[in-house]
Chain A
Amino acid sequence: MLPFPMKMRPNDMLEELAELSRKAVEGVKVLGGIREEDIKIGTTPKDAVYQEDKLVLYHFRPLVEKPFPIPLLISYALVNRPWMVDLQEDRSLVLNLLKLGLDVYLIDWGYPSRGDRWLTLDDYINGYIGNCVDVVRKRHGLDKINLLGICQGGAFSLCYTAINPGKIQNLITMVTPVDFHRSDGLLNAWAGCGAGVPAMDVDLMVDALGNIPGDFMNFGFLMLKPFELGIQKYINLIDILDDRDKSVNFLRMEKWIFDSPDQAGEAYRQFMKDFYLDNKMISGELEIGGKHIDLFQINMPVLNLYAEQDHLVPPSSTLPLKQHVGTKDYTVKSFPVGHIGMYVSGKVQRELPPTIADWLRARG
């Protein structure tokens, strides 16, 4: 007969659960003493240099006397707040780039309200990104600047650069989806692309909701790994709650994860239909504000960074970029982490900022 697979002795189980419960109870006491003001993110010193509607363009205060002359503008996704790139002092892509002498700007999209329901991709890409690029150019007296687009912000950056190649010196894309018809991306499947089965009706959703609630987006992300993200993560939390610093670090991530802005309805509609459903960015059929997007017009150096274990933007979605851009100076580099690991992994934070800084300096 097969041996009983549960090797725990009953007393061991008793002790283990008693210990788990004790730690959980103690942990709740620790959590009870943490105030919201203890959990700050995006704390690297910065100044608001431009505002338009709900958008704020921030300039991080340089940490060297003479920063690299061509500034870097970061365009993050709309679906989360951008402060993942500046989560905390020892996990800040921005701070590390500043230490390496770069001059960094960041677009904060803000929180769309019902009044922003009519914002389109034209507003975001030709409008907001375009105006931010022009502001940075003017501030530094430059024709061209460097642009770093992250995730959906990377897709926007590709579109902007394809329309305005003369304004971008070097383009960096990070965990950026390019080919949306890849079946290994669960988000792609749920959006109904490539599966050939009727999925959710995007038009109906936008007509009913106006803006797409941030909670709806969060729920979708959590459902990609429901047990790991919904149960295991909080059981593991018990092990670190006796350390206040680690607890606060955990809560910073929690704060960022659940602080999701609503998505402006028309922009969401177009992004889902033109990018996810019809894959127009690489089919050559995409138009933003009446301007045709031809990725071949991207003729400046491109650095494409991706995460090897990315379940949100699988590598198969990112790697096709090479075939579509017109540049002869194309570099790709991967890191052995997931989507979020690109920002919070200690190893990546040691390697990623120098990768970006060295690559930019060589093409100054």
Chain B
Amino acid sequence: MTWLDQAEGMINAWSEAQKKSWQQWNDLTWGQKPSTTSFTHMGDLWQELVMQGMRAWTGGSGETAQHAAERLFAGQNAMMRFIELSTNVWKAIAQSMETGQDWQAALNTQMEVVRGQLRQASSEGAKTGKDLNTLWRQYLEQMQVIGKPWMDAFFGAAPQMPQAIGGDLSALAELTSLYWDTYDQTFGRFLQSPALGYTREADEKMRRGFAAWLDLQQASYEYEIMLSGVWAEAFEQLIHELMALSERGEGIQSLRQLLLQWTSVADRVFMQAFRSEKYIQVQGQLVNASMAFRLRQREIMEEVLRKSDLPTRSDVDEANHEIYKLRKEVKALKQALASLTETIENGPQAALNLSKEKPARARRAPAKSRRKQAGNNQ
């Protein structure tokens, strides 16, 4: 049989196997035949239905067992998607083998397609590259603001905020008047302080929040791009190893063996990537951007909570800190009291025995300097 024949045979068997697999899961959860004949759609639909059904099926079991069941399904799902990708790549390689072309060139071409798809998926998820107005609206959609007058003011500020960020003074004035109207509806009637100073602070927090959110989108995008590149590299490495097996006259005897080969290669490639300075830097940027955004978000939330006369995270942390310090002081006092009580009851020697410590040993020179000294003495 030619490469193409074998690859197509594998693909056809795989399609059939997937259908049977989904049918088995379907029977477990719903016991009904699918209503559609399109395989791709069927597979996606059944995944969703099976997950819902499985949760219902394992609803009476413990949380640990439920999670394990979900991960079992997810693991099988990941395996099937990997094998599906493999079959597509094998078909492309097989076609080049049939025409006498270099299989590595065919692999490179196919992997560029895969990388392109992964990059596109990351771009669609990322919020970068869009205009400020769109980004601002998306940012507000993600913010959960407490207090309707302020929520309306924030959303009402949507057309003005990007311009205000860009330094448009008329937009800033309009923004200020929005806040002033809202402020007037809530606290303005009771306070005499100038609204302009107050809203300037709120504006500044919103601007910082928006900037932090943009940084987070950028960092997320860069991280996803990096991960998708590593993923593609891992898959490419797998194909190389499989071809090396073929050169030695060996081959993959079962799906499980193929999966084992894949996980072994993937973990190795990912480990290598994870150690790289570039990855550490990109991961660090993502974590830092997430934390910075969380802090900015908290500033805004606390601004709103204070308006609503509700306690904030900072208030609670401050209270907890005071409790912690007091608790520590009480423990120290209790210990001192116990020691005094021991002295009174058993005499000074007992207290001395309790606190007796051997004098510290003379410190040796640090290990590095000992080794250096030994080297100098030779």
Contact = CB atoms under 8 A, between A and B. Distances in A.
Q: Are A and B associated in one complex?
A: yes
B307 to A, nearest CB: 23
Interface in B63-83: 63-69, 71-76, 78-80
B251 to A, nearest CB: 4
Contact of B251 (A5, A299, A320): A5
B300 interface: no
Contact of B324 (A21, A27, A118, A196): A118
B254 interface: yes
A362 interface: no
Interface string B226-261: 000000000000000011011101111111101110
A287 to B, nearest CB: 14
B133 to A, nearest CB: 28
A198 B289 CA distance: 13
Contact of B274 (A25, A114, A223): A223
B20 A34 contact: no
Given A2-B246, A118-B324, A199 B61 contact: no
Contacts of A22: 24
Interface stretch (A6-14, A55-63, A64-72): A6-14
A28 B72 contact: yes
A254 interface: yes
Looking at B16, B25, B255, B327, the one whose CB has the most chain A CB atoms below 10 A away is B255
B275 A6 contact: no
Contacts of A37: 62
Interface stretch (B156-164, B166-174, B189-197, B262-270): B262-270
Contact of A36 (B18, B62, B320): B62
Contact of A201 (B64, B78, B288): B288
Contacts of B63: 36
Contacts of A142: none
B10 interface: yes
A251 B68 contact: yes
A192 interface: yes
Interface in B341-376: 356-358, 360-361, 363-364, 366-367
Given A24-B73, A197-B277, A114 B320 contact: yes
Contacts of B317: 114, 117, 210
A47 to B, nearest CB: 23
Nearest to A201: B288
B90 A6 contact: yes
Given A36-B63, A208-B294, A8 B262 contact: no
A324 B368 CA distance: 10
A60 B250 CA distance: 55
Given A5-B242, A21-B20, A195-B277, A235 B253 contact: no
B151 interface: no
Interface residues of B, number: 102
Given A1-B3, A4-B7, A189-B275, A234 B25 contact: no
Interface in A40-54: 53
A28 B280 contact: no
21 contacts: A4-B6, A7-B251, A13-B255, A14-B17, A21-B76, A24-B76, A31-B61, A34-B61, A36-B65, A115-B324, A116-B324, A118-B321, A118-B325, A123-B328, A195-B280, A198-B284, A201-B287, A208-B290, A235-B256, A255-B64, A284-B366
Interface of B: 1, 3, 6-7, 9-10, 12-14, 16-18, 20-21, 24-25, 27-28, 54, 57-58, 60-69, 71-76, 78-80, 90, 94, 97, 103, 242-243, 245-247, 249-256, 258-260, 262-264, 266-267, 270-271, 274-275, 277, 280-281, 283-284, 287-288, 290-292, 294-295, 298, 313, 316-317, 320-321, 323-325, 327-328, 331, 356-358, 360-361, 363-364, 366-367
Interface of A: 1-14, 16-18, 20-22, 24-25, 27-29, 31-39, 53, 114-119, 123, 127, 164-166, 183, 186, 189-190, 192, 195-201, 204-205, 207-210, 223-228, 230-235, 237-238, 250-251, 254-255, 258, 282-284, 294, 296-297, 299, 320, 323-324, 326
5 residue pairs, one from A and one from B, having the closest CB atoms? A36-B62, A10-B13, A234-B75, A7-B251, A208-B291
Given A204-B292, A208-B290, A231-B263, 14 more contacts: A4-B7, A20-B76, A24-B25, A31-B58, A31-B69, A39-B65, A200-B284, A204-B288, A228-B263, A231-B78, A234-B68, A235-B259, A237-B68, A258-B64
